[in-house]
Amino acid sequence: MIKLISQFLVVLSFITAGVANATLITADLTENNYINYKGLDWAWASPVNVEVYGSNRLYSPTLHEGWRFASENELIILKTELTLQDFTGIDGSGNEFTIQAIEYWNTHYVRFNIEDFNNDWVNSSWTITPNIDWNYETFYVRDTPSDVPEPSTILIFAIALIALSLRKRAIK
């Protein structure tokens, strides 16, 4: 009986693994999925530059709050100032990885093309002629959100609490 259950579980795992595919991540990007350069966050969003290609759908940058298409001037920065090394991170084990966010905007793709990046085949807004120039790497940008000054916020809150308690004492 145990052998039969084991065989059933093995077959079931093969069936479920066979139908598994990439899933769109709708949560906010982590710091390992984008880089910051000159006050902009850059996300490597897709290996194609059309909304629908085969079974994949590339979503617009607005799927995630604050992200947008890069302007022409920002694309010039990407092509002239940023290199593949800028999109390379090191994990906790000391291994290099490419910083990308493909799974945050694509329904099926989980890959990217370094050769296209090195050849400056990069864009941001979607192509108008999908049969000719769909094969550009897509990058999205956002203005880097400013950090909330926590210590001063906590200090203001503490002063307000002290003032409130002193006011109550003065009333008594």
Q: Summarize pLDDT for 108-164 with one digit per residue, the tens.
A: 988 899 999 998 889 998 887 666 667 889 999 999 877 666 677 777 777 877 887
Question: Which has the closest alpha carbon to 113: 130, 133, 136?
Answer: 136
Res 107: pLDDT:
92
Q: Which residue has the higher pLDDT, 133 or 13?
A: 133
User: What is the predicted pLDDT for the residue at 131?
Assistant: 64
Q: Is the pLDDT of residue 67 over 70?
A: yes
**Residue 52 pLDDT:** 87
| Predicted local confidence at residue 172, as pLDDT | 64
Confidence of residue 20 (pLDDT cuts 50, 70, 90): very low
Q: How far, in Å, CA of 17 to CA of 152, rounded?
A: 51
Residue 78 contacts residue 122 (beta carbons within 8 Å)? yes
Mean pLDDT of 59-76: 95
Closest by Cα among 98, 137, 109 to 121: 137
Burial per residue of 14-28, b for 16 or more beta-carbon CB atoms within 10 angstroms, e otherwise: eeeeeeeeeeebeee
Is the model's pTM score more than 0.75?
A: no
Average pLDDT, the chain: 83
* pLDDT recorded at residue 73: 96
The yes-or-no verdict on residue 21 having pLDDT over 60 is no
